[in-house]
Amino acid sequence: MGTNSMQMRTCLYCKQLKKYNGRIAALSEFDTEHVLMQAFGKFQHNLTLTKDVCKVCNSKFSRELDRAFARDSIEGYLRYVHGVKSGNKIAEFKGQRATVQLMDPISPLNRALVDHRVSNGKLEALLKAQVRIEDASAEGGWKAFTLAEVQHPEFGNLVRRAYKTNSKIQILADTDEEYELLCSALTEHGLQWEDTQTILPFTSPVTLEEFPDETIHRAIAKIAFNYATKNLGAPYMLGDDFDAARNYIMEGVRPQFPIVVPMKKPAFDKSSKFALFLGHILTVNWSMFNECMCLVALVSLFNQRYFRVQLSDNIKGLFMDKKIGHLFEIESNPRQCMELDEDSFNEI
């Protein structure tokens, strides 16, 4: 009694044979892995892998990949904008792998640093108190420093060492209080500045800039790999054809083929019925690439841009003429995950 629910299974990622006990999770060496991590929303009919990823791999991923992806990527930032995560928690956003800037080439505030606040449940960007110094080598021609940086005792010396004495200095602030603080800090450092008025909260678009980062790409590759496994089965994805992708996700070893390619456009065309869809899109299919038959996935969070994820080089095992896709709707209540039908798939 009870012993028949114990089996040995191979972990999808480390390929080690481990104990699985479906009835008693505590006795099992496997854990539930969400195809798309829950930080990007909880969905009805969500996709999970319940007996394919071992606890060791599962916790390695949450430590090494999932956290960075949720809190330090463009997609991670969009969680706060679209209310998947409360805008009040924006301070959790690290801004190291991806930064948020005001982007308006004709505005004198181009590339100024921004801050956030929540108003009527929506996240709004506002001007961060800052001092900018003219710097031809910096993007947009200015180097920006936050109030905390300006208040640092060494700030004056740093500026004198790094910049010519006649470099323009500008103060940007959207409250009188911040403006006064910046002025007095500059005065204490003995620095002269070009006069600047208090600037009202702006409405110009902010853009996100991302620094290429392997951790983020590995997190994207894992979503694609999980998704392929959910639909094609663990026995298929445990095949050698997918070892290169598996090693990339596990250890960051780059395969010979381009595994994760970010595309600067949404997955659906402007004319598509899904052009305005707000949510996530995952698809997987076999396709010819460089005269090789490869398994290719598409990952798009919040339907902003998409990633093409190549999960194999030339497939030596089986392949089919089959396309699979799911949408994760974040605007519906409750949030839903649903399969894409053949016609909708063709709009991608």
Site of interaction with Zn ion (CB under 5 A): 11, 13-14, 54, 57
Cis peptide before 334 (omega within 30 of 0): yes
Give least dist CB 326 to Zn ion, A. 24
∠ at Cα 154 (153, 160), nearest 5°? 135
Shortest CB 16 distance to Zn ion, Å: 6
Residue 62 vs 344, nearer CB to Zn ion: 62
Q: What angle do CA 68, 71, 77 make, to 5 degrees?
A: 130
User: Shortest approach of Zn ion to residue 55 CB, angstroms?
Assistant: 8
d(CA 339, CA 324): 8
For Zn ion, the closer of residues 113 and 221 by Cβ is 221
Structure tokens at 25: 């999770």
Radius of gyration of the chain (CA): 24
**In whole angstroms, what is the distance from residue 212 CA to residue 16 CA?**
32
Tell me how far apart the alpha carbons of residues 345 and 72 are, in angstroms, rounded to a whole number: 30
Name the amino acid, one letter, at 15. Answer: K
What is the nearest approach in angstroms of Zn ion to the Cβ of residue 238? 11
Least Cβ distance, residue 215 to Zn ion (angstroms): 19
Residue closer to Zn ion by CB (options 15, 316) is: 15
Nearer to Zn ion, 34 or 79 (CB): 34
Alpha-carbon separation of residue 264 from 82, 281, 307 (angstroms)? 19, 15, 9
Closer residue to Zn ion in complex, CB, 10/167: 10
